Amino acid sequence: MVLRYHVAMPDAPGGRPEPEPRAAAPRALGLAGVVVGVVASGGLLALALRSLEPGDVVAAWRSSTPWPWIPLAVAAYLAGHLVRGQRCRTLVRAHAPLGLVAASNVVVLGYASNNVLPARLGELVRAGVLAERTGMPVTQALTVTLLERLLDALAVLAFLVLAMTRLPPDPWTLEIARVAGVGLGVAGAALATAALAPGLVIASVARATAGLGANTQTRAVRLTAGVVDAVVTLREPSVLAPVLGTSLLVWALETAMFVLLLPAFGLAADPWRGAAVMSVANLGILVPSTPGYVGTFHWFCANALGAQGVDAPTALAYAVVAHLSFFVPVTAWGAVALLGHGVRVGRAVALARSARRPGPGGEVAGWAYRRVALRAAPGAAEPPPPPPFLRALAEALVDGTGAPPEPAALDRAARFAALQLRALPPALRAAHAAGLAGFRAWITVRHGRSFHRLAVPARRRAVDAWAFGPIAPLRQLLRPLRSLLLLGYFESVASAERGGRAPREAAP
């Protein structure tokens, strides 16, 4: 039995593309989110100030001892962002060789933007800047950003559960842990499914949206493919272990910030108390709020301390100082990083927003799908040999992931990509072929031999020079091929590991 990929892509009914959805609904939802955030922040801030005398809070500030606790707390918090940068590097290293400073700046830009922009637009800014910096599709960059947020939330929940085993029972904190555990458990299960069974996820989305029209199905499958392409790297132990380790280290350093602020207010530097306050405050700011989490952070942080017996004025004074300890430094760092991106950040926001409503042009697979059928074809004819260039390109990309290449999976990935290139509209196919011809000519002139005859490390360096270089059109040339080849390769490997059937490669 020969197992082959099959991707059928007829045009939309009537030969005409379906009309684009109106943008009014997303705008209305965005405005509603801002209104809800303002109301929630205002209400929680009012609750935090209720029954408090302003003079008591001021007295708590005046009696505090900022030196050396606040500088040490800020240093621990900023060190955590360097660790976040390292985690970002690990998640995108199969797509782009980011340096530690560059990756940390991308992360900080997102946090700083959340401090000054409504509706958590900082996540979109971060995804857009990451896409521009690495050449990744915006959908994929946004998935990496949201993946980091999910890992953060899971790590924070783990710290909270651990702290609760060492502190006196507190029903309020326990209820927060239960609510967060349910939501994060569902999200974690979805993440595991996408990482372990990417083909199943894509096929399920394609079948579920088959009756919604060609354009709707195109967007859904393309968006899903981008999500899977970003998540599937977690199947590799060389990626999963450092990602989990850095996630725990990030929140250990943030816990250190909260612990170091306790002595500034005459409280014992109890690591379990600091972990509980850190966890509740960070889970609390998942609630919609104003930029910088004003009100939301203060209420959850003060109540977490109050639940451990700290008087209300001291708890609120601590919350204000803790908020300033992360708000001011990261916003200043973000402003400095912003100078390196200039006006391109405006375009980054626009690019990131497009991930919410992907249009008919492809970013992940590069072209529209009408139906994706992941099934075997018993008795199918023997497939033709894979195109040498595409197979060599697939081998170079896989070499960069640290996984030993599997020849059969490389063959299937190359044939799959070739079929998708042939499915492009004639004009786009010709333009892409011309770009690839330029790349291959450059290789021949520089190395004196064709691309597929180079050693694998040399091929990898040549691909990196174009795919992650400073010239955007060159990055975009190899973007669809990179996504297709990696998705096809790792899905073939996963099918073989499961002992199941690989998707078939028959022409449309």
Cα dihedral sign, 233-234-235-236: positive
User: What's the mean per-residue pLDDT of the chain?
Assistant: 76
- Mention every residue, 6+ apart, whose C-beta is less than 8 A from residue 486: 94, 229, 394, 397, 398, 401, 413
User: Which is more confidently placed, 221 or 326?
Assistant: 326
Task: Calculate the CA 171 to chain-centre distance.
Answer: 33
For the chain, give every domain's residue range: 40-173+225-353, 387-506
Place of tokens 């059969």: 408
Q: What three-state secondary structure class fits 36?
A: helix
User: Which is more confidently placed, 480 or 190?
Assistant: 190
Helices (H), 100-170: 100-116, 121-134, 138-164
Encode pLDDT of 158-191 as tens digits.
Answer: 999 999 999 888 888 888 888 888 888 888 888 8
Encode pLDDT of 382-434 as tens digits.
Answer: 566 778 888 888 888 877 556 677 888 888 888 888 887 777 777 777 777 78
> Nearest-5° angle of CA 353, CA 358, CA 212?
135
Question: pLDDT value at position 328?
Answer: 92
CA distances from 386 to 118, 379, 392, 416, 438 (A): 50, 20, 10, 9, 21
Question: pLDDT value at position 293?
Answer: 86
Sheet with strand 505-506: strands edge to edge: 371-372, 5-8, 505-506
Rounded CA-CA distance 466/430 in Å is: 19
For residue 372, what are the β-bridge partners? 7
Encode pLDDT of 263-317 as tens digits.
Answer: 999 999 999 999 999 999 999 888 776 788 888 898 999 999 998 889 989 999 9
Above 90 in pLDDT, residue 195? no
Strands 371-372 and 5-8 turn out to be antiparallel
Question: pLDDT value at position 20?
Answer: 41
Question: pLDDT value at position 436?
Answer: 82
Lowest mean pLDDT among 63-72, 445-454, 484-493: 484-493
- Mention every residue, 6+ apart, whose C-beta is less than 8 A from residue 40: 287, 288, 289, 295, 296
Encode pLDDT of 343-383 as tens digits.
Answer: 455 554 554 454 444 433 333 333 223 233 333 333 444 56
Rounded CA-CA distance 214/152 in Å is: 36
- Mark residue 220 as left, alpha or beta (left: phi above 0; alpha: psi -120 to 50; beta: remaining): alpha
Provide the strand spans (E) within 368-460: 371-372
Instruction: Indicate the DSSP class of residue 95.
Output: T
Above 90 in pLDDT, residue 45? no
User: Which is more confidently placed, 32 or 307?
Assistant: 307
User: Which is more confidently placed, 8 or 177?
Assistant: 177
Question: 1-20: buried (b, 16+ CB within 10 Å) or exposed (e) per residue?
Answer: eebbbbbebeebeeeeebee
Rounded CA-CA distance 172/184 in Å is: 18
Question: pLDDT value at position 347?
Answer: 53
Contact 247, 60 (CB under 8 A): no
Encode pLDDT of 308-350 as tens digits.
Answer: 889 989 999 999 999 999 999 999 998 888 776 654 555 545 5
Find the mean pLDDT for residues 204-219.
79
Above 50 in pLDDT, residue 10? no
Contact 485, 478 (CB under 8 A): no
- How many residues are there in the chain? 508
User: Which is more confidently placed, 244 or 140?
Assistant: 244
Task: Calculate the CA 277 to chain-centre distance.
Answer: 26
Question: pLDDT value at position 405?
Answer: 78
Question: pLDDT value at position 252?
Answer: 96
Strands 371-372 and 505-506 turn out to be unpaired
For residue 369, what are the β-bridge partners? none
Question: pLDDT value at position 400?
Answer: 59
Question: 276-311: buried (b, 16+ CB within 10 Å) or exposed (e) per residue?
Answer: bbbbbbbbbbbbbbbbbbbbbbbbbbbbbbbbbebe
